[in-house]
Amino acid sequence: MSGTSADAIDGVAAEIDEHQARIIATASIPLSDNLRQRIQAVSTGTHDRLDDVAILDIDMANTFADCAEKLMAELKTPPIAIGCHGQTVRHRPEQHFTVQLGQGAVIAARTGIATVSDFRSADVALGGEGAPLVPAFHHAIFGSDIEDRAIVNIGGIANVTLLAKNGSVHGFDTGPGNTLLDHWYRQHNEGILDDRGQWSRKGRVDVALLKRCCADPYFSLPAPKSTGPEYFNVGWLTPLLGGHESPADVQATLRALTSRTIWGAVSQHLPGTEQIYLCGGGVKNDALIEELRMDFDGLTVDSTAAVGMDPQWVEACAFAWLAHQRLTQQPGNIPAVTGAARPAVLGALYHP
């Protein structure tokens, strides 16, 4: 799994059945500056010639294969399959396409293991958003029949899975997770991210700016809906700035925006929620977690470690589970979440 933040590849080796995923090995490989810059250039459309995109597709596949081989070295027996989400460089469900790089054929050839990739296209072909896809996994692994739960994944974009105790499942992208925080930080500091949100603590939330941010039409759109850094980027933010704000105040405000929009999504769509479980890279942002606990005043906000899975590896494990669904010819999407016309088996299978 490589998320929209394009900072690293996270991989897990897992033993999976329908309602259980047991992680037995993990690996994380930082993406090189060269790869990150090329991903950014393609994602923003500033340098997306077909030759460049195709070469990046192969280079990403080889990097995913590096991660897979690192995991395989820790296993006593070879895995049955590899599930690779790929690197999203463009997500345009309104135009009926989504693009993830990292050729499954290359990974299968490199590793000698059957590889499932391109998970989103089948859902999009059926009129769906192609995202988020993790709610089916969340439902299988974290569902409860005694309480309403929300699973919140904070990657570059944040998404929620709303698990009602009656068995219904809803989910959607709430808006920016880490993406605006990361890009704003990089504009004003050395390094790639605001470690534990420390820089944001030096600022104060600009209430007027937060109000302008929250007025964006995306936040009031009905679900199903999904978004990406193509929409929520510094170009989106710049027109909302008055020009007099201190950079640290803007960072504090962006932190509040992520928290407030997650809170709004959960409180509006599953008001009986009793427990909030967090996963994804945003869990490492201590200041953001404190903000969420203030917004969800009275509710328990914890990480998915409390329900048996390290928050860093949840999304990678979800795509291992989705690969298992593909091999067993079971649906991987939830139409109520993505808006697809029907449940579908997701992913393209490449044999070595």
Q: Which two tokens stand for residue 84?
A: 């690779």
Per-residue confidence (pLDDT) for residue 192, from 0 to 100: 86
| Cβ atoms of 258 and 160 closer than 8 Å | no
CA distance 334 to 342: 8
- Residue 262 half-sphere exposure, CB side, CA atoms within 13 Å? 34
Chain position carrying tokens 């995202």: 131
User: pLDDT exceeding 70 applies to what percent of the chain?
Assistant: 100
pLDDT tens-place values along the chain, 352 residues long:
998 778 899 999 999 986 789 999 999 999 999 999 999 999 988 888 999 999 999 999 999 999 999 999 999 999 999 999 999 999 999 999 999 999 999 999 999 999 999 999 999 999 999 999 999 999 999 999 999 999 999 999 999 999 999 999 999 999 999 999 999 999 999 988 999 999 999 999 999 999 999 999 999 999 999 999 999 999 999 999 999 999 999 999 999 999 999 999 999 999 999 999 999 999 999 999 999 999 999 899 999 999 999 999 999 999 999 999 999 999 999 999 999 999 999 999 999 9
- Residue 197 half-sphere exposure, CB side, CA atoms within 13 Å? 26
Domains belonging to the chain, first-starting first, are 8-130+313-350 (3.30.420.40), 134-311 (3.30.420.40)
* Distance linking the first and last C-alpha atoms of the chain: 20
